[in-house]
Amino acid sequence: MKIAPPTAAKVDCPKGTLDRAAEAGRFLSSPRAWPWTVLAMAAALGWLNTQRTTTAAAWPFVIALLAFGMPHGAADWTVAAKLGHRVGFVRRASGFLGYLLLMAASLGLIMWQPGVAGLLFLLLTVFHFGMADATAVRADGDGPIARWGLVIARGLLLLATAFATHPQAAWAPFAQIGSALSPWHAAAWKPDLDVLRSLAAIGVASGVMLAVCSAIARMRAGRVAAASLDLVEHALVAAMAALADPLFAVGCFFLGVHAFRHTRRLACTREVLEPPAAPSKLLPRMLRVHVISLPLMWPTAACLVPLCWLLGGVDLQTLAVASIAFYMITTLPHHLLGLRLPQPDLQPAA
């Protein structure tokens, strides 16, 4: 008598649950869907009620401590070890020494000349944000004008627009950081906000010109649709920066655009994720990025406590400013490590 092989028990799952999971996966797999949602919501809120964005200004940075923001940088401990093929705590720590020294040098500059440190941080952020965006929308291979035009335009249209429209509010966190962390703050150089606003206006005009040049170069490379989408995204970034509170606007960009896209890139890079074998779906891989960030997340959380204490106490606004202070210390080594990342090789591979 022939016996049929056993079959696995069927597990019923509501179709709506599967559909929602599939939709979430498609939403996060797109390099533009989540960023555009955040940008549009922030710009709309700024247009409808700017004061509301001032009241909620700290929230994007606070949410970033647990969502994409802090984890994408805290993954650097594991990323550095995997790129250097270092195993074991001692070898990992020795390979991370250069990263820590750059952090110490950045902190030293903040303590000595906080105004200079703030401006250099803003300049570095223009490139750091823009380069991540160029990679995410696949402009890196469309020629130097397409790539670097997008890189610089994106950073300028965010930061220069914020300083051109709200110079005092935009500089306020840096003034607070300098006052708290620099023993020589009173005698240190400080930027003239009127001059800074004029320079920012030039930066906005330059950003518009570079955005158009980049789009034309991408169109000539046969990427007409991508170039058109770039221009829409530039407009969303500039509108948000002009209409919303500067801290809120930059925080929304950091959380919804930069950190998301960086996390997404790490989740598409096999060398970062493995071993064990990377999951086939993007969402579990993004969760794995959060998991590999945990070893550096705890020391980071410990660092934020004294920063908040120096800045005057623990509340949402202080926590947001403390986060910016921490990024001023860590962005240079984080950016340099990011330049060593290999090309993403897992779908959607961007």
Print pLDDT tens along the chain (350 aa): 444 444 444 434 445 554 555 555 677 778 899 999 999 999 999 999 999 999 999 999 999 998 999 899 999 999 999 999 999 999 999 999 999 999 999 999 999 999 999 999 999 999 999 999 999 999 999 999 999 999 999 999 999 999 999 999 999 999 999 999 999 999 999 999 999 999 999 999 999 999 999 999 999 999 999 999 999 999 999 999 999 999 999 999 999 999 999 999 999 999 999 999 999 999 999 999 999 999 999 999 899 999 999 999 889 999 999 999 999 999 999 999 999 999 999 988 76
Q: Where are the alpha helices (DSSP H) in 96-223?
A: 97-112, 114-136, 144-165, 167-181, 193-220
Is 346 within a domain?
Answer: no
CA distances from 10 to 3, 192, 296 (A): 20, 69, 42
Residue 27 lies in a domain: no
Q: How far apart are CA 51 and CA 107, in angstroms?
A: 33
Report the alpha-carbon distance of residue 180 to residue 190 in Å, rounded.
15
Helix axes 33-48, 15-29, angle to 10 degrees: 80
Residue 10 lies in a domain: no
pLDDT for the residue numbered 223: 96
Note down the domain range covering 245.
34-338
Within a domain: 92: yes
Q: Tell me whether residue 332 is in a domain.
A: yes
Establish if 347 belongs to a structural domain.
no
| Kind and range of the H or E run holding 307 | helix 282-311
pTM for this predicted structure: 0.91
Instruction: Give a yes or no: residue 258 inside a domain.
Output: yes
Number of structural domains found in the chain: 1
Tell me if 2 is assigned to some domain: no
